[in-house]
Amino acid sequence: MAIAKAQPGKTLLNGSNHTLIMIDHQSQMAFATKSIDPVLLRNNAALVAKAAKEFKVSTILTTVAEKSFSGPIFDEIKSVFPNETIIDRTTMNTWEDGRIAERVNAIGKEKIVLAGLWTSVCIVGPALSALDQGFEVYVIADASGDVSDEAHQRAMERMIQAGARPMTSLQYLLELQRDWARGETYNETVATAITNGGGYGLGLIYAKAMFNASEGH
């Protein structure tokens, strides 16, 4: 018989139980991305980066052919992690670069969260590879994108069929916070949601301005 306990499920993310890998959020990759508006993509990438920074998530940033073709990582990410070493690869599959494997092993987390461009190549590759090696994989769908809606959706379906867990950027932030009584991260979570949380952020602005509302804090 199942018994309810006031504790989070094992598949939920927190700041210390996963590694975030942000992959190929670069201008050349974004030019051909059609499954999501580039402004929204950049906003969502910023939201994910800020959430990871706030909750001290072990984060790996990686690019492909930065100097020769794809250009620098989005400023929305670089500004959040100005001192982070960015691993520039030749491999389309991030997981096949030995430096990535070395970092993942050094961090030592069994949960891997992925976001990047393009979904059908640069996310499918590491997702399926990590799953095959026994990791739990999560994909932030709206901080990723592809050359068409079809390409993005088929890639997401393929990963889900293999066991990956899809989520969104705002979900990522709120799952890390998870309790408005957590005062040490409350203000920054709300600030990030206001800046990058779309309609939810507008709602927070309204509630605080009109009623000085606070989410149970």
Rounded Cα distance, 207 and 201, in Å: 10
Helix (H) or strand (E) holding 114: strand 111-116
Residues annotated as catalytic (active site), given as ranges: 122
User: What are residue 138's DSSP bridge partners?
Assistant: 113, 165
Does the bond joining 118 to the residue before it have cis omega, within 30 degrees of 0? Answer: yes
Report yes or no: 176 and 14 within 8 Å, Cβ to Cβ.
Answer: yes
| Number of residues written out for the chain | 217
Taking phi first (over 0 means left), then psi (-120 to 50 degrees means alpha), and beta for anything else, what does residue 163 get? left
